[in-house]
Amino acid sequence: MKFYDIFNGDADGICALHQLRLTEPRAAELVTGVKRDIVLVERVDVQSGDVLTVLDVSLRSNATGVQRALERGARLQYFDHHAAGDIPRHAQFEAHIDTAPDVCTSLLVDRHLAGKHRLWAVVAAFGDNLVESAMLAAQPLQLDHTELARLHELGEAINYNAYGETVDDLHYHPADLYRAIASYQDPRHFIVDEPVFEVLKQAGKEDLARAEDLAPEFSNDAAALYVLPDAAWSRRVNGVFGNRLAQAAPGRAHAVLVTRPAGGYVVSVRAPRNKPQGAEALCSAFATGGGRQGAAGINHLPTDELPRFIAAFRNAYK
């Protein structure tokens, strides 16, 4: 019989596991990856009697792995806040799934543990950009303004660490980052006693400065488009950079393209924050595109389709 702790490599996944293991320590094999690695349960060669804890990856994406694990006689505990599809009804399957927009997985674990390690849930909620939920969860802790700001920064730093095409792009493998955190009851001590927070904060700043040095492909009042080079820092900073652009110019739509190693681009589109519409329709017109009205993307835009994308983007936001 083996234990497996399976978790998304972002702040929410790491802090969810941390809260559970502070409460119930367990030597488990860690299964994780970059933020976009969301099909994780299938990676485990499950045997009868194994115990799997799964955190912050959607049940829909892991349905095959979960089904197989149950068939083989494993027991699963599952916490997540993403759209789930059908939830298995099985004596060996314990689900804590809530897709409300104001919760994250770490807040679901916090609920399960009756707030026992609330500080880490606050860090995670900040990391998932659920600022209001984080503040609300923090209320009974009576933190001062500076402490809250530090927890906010820590959540963002851990979250930033998870962005990349593969773990090679990251500053810390998420399993190592979890291990660094694992001995800390209190994130305020982790911030001071470990170099991790400063390393990530500094690295994030440097990545962002590189992106901000780039001239846009084009930019006007309605829309701007940036192409980042094929580099690890581009893949790490992509999300943060897009957020910055949107905050700085809320009336403008933004497209950020990251050049892929084998050619073509990964595309992220953010509609104007003032009028969050049209991103999904724009991206869905391309083979690997999809998303929400306010924010959407294309997984792979072939190089020869770049002119068509630029024309469609300009036309959607003018």
Of 104 and 170, CB closest to Mn ion = 104
257 contributes a contact to Mn ion by CB under 5 A: no
Chain-centre distance for alpha carbon 103: 14
110 contributes a contact to Mn ion by CB under 5 A: no
Of 104 and 267, CB closest to Mn ion = 104
For the CB of residue 132, give the shortest distance to Mn ion in the complex, in Å: 15
Q: Cα dist. 189→7, 116, 185, 192, 195 in Å?
A: 23, 17, 8, 5, 11
Which of these ranges, 16-24, 50-58, 281-289, 296-304, lies near Mn ion under the rule CB under 5 A? 50-58
- Say if CB 59 and CB 83 are below 8 A apart: no
Size of the residue set binding Mn ion (CB under 5 A): 5
Which of these ranges, 93-101, 120-128, 149-157, 255-263, lies near Mn ion under the rule CB under 5 A? 120-128
- Say if CB 18 and CB 11 are below 8 A apart: no
Q: Which residue is nearest to Mn ion (CB)?
A: 12
For the CB of residue 221, give the shortest distance to Mn ion in the complex, in Å: 34
For the CB of residue 240, give the shortest distance to Mn ion in the complex, in Å: 16
Beta strand segments in 32-180, E: 51-55, 75-80, 93-97
Entry field: residues in the chain? 318
For the CB of residue 105, give the shortest distance to Mn ion in the complex, in Å: 5
Of 155 and 297, CB closest to Mn ion = 155
Question: How far is it, in rounded angstroms, from Cα 164 to Cα 157?
Answer: 14
Residue from 14, 52, 104, 125 that binds Mn ion (CB under 5 A)?
104
80 contributes a contact to Mn ion by CB under 5 A: no
Of 56 and 110, CB closest to Mn ion = 56
3-state SS, residue 219? strand
Read off φ and ψ for residue 3, nearest 5 degrees.
Answer: -100, 140
12 contributes a contact to Mn ion by CB under 5 A: yes
- Cβ-based neighbours of 110, under 8 Å, separated by 6 or more: 19, 116, 117, 118, 121, 137
Provide Rg for the chain, Cα atoms. 20
Sign of CA dihedral 207, 208, 209, 210: positive
Of 50 and 56, CB closest to Mn ion = 56
56 contributes a contact to Mn ion by CB under 5 A: yes
280 contributes a contact to Mn ion by CB under 5 A: no
Of 14 and 63, CB closest to Mn ion = 14
Question: How far is it, in rounded angstroms, from Cα 299 to Cα 283?
Answer: 10
162 contributes a contact to Mn ion by CB under 5 A: no
Binding site for Mn ion (CB under 5 A): 12, 56, 104-105, 128
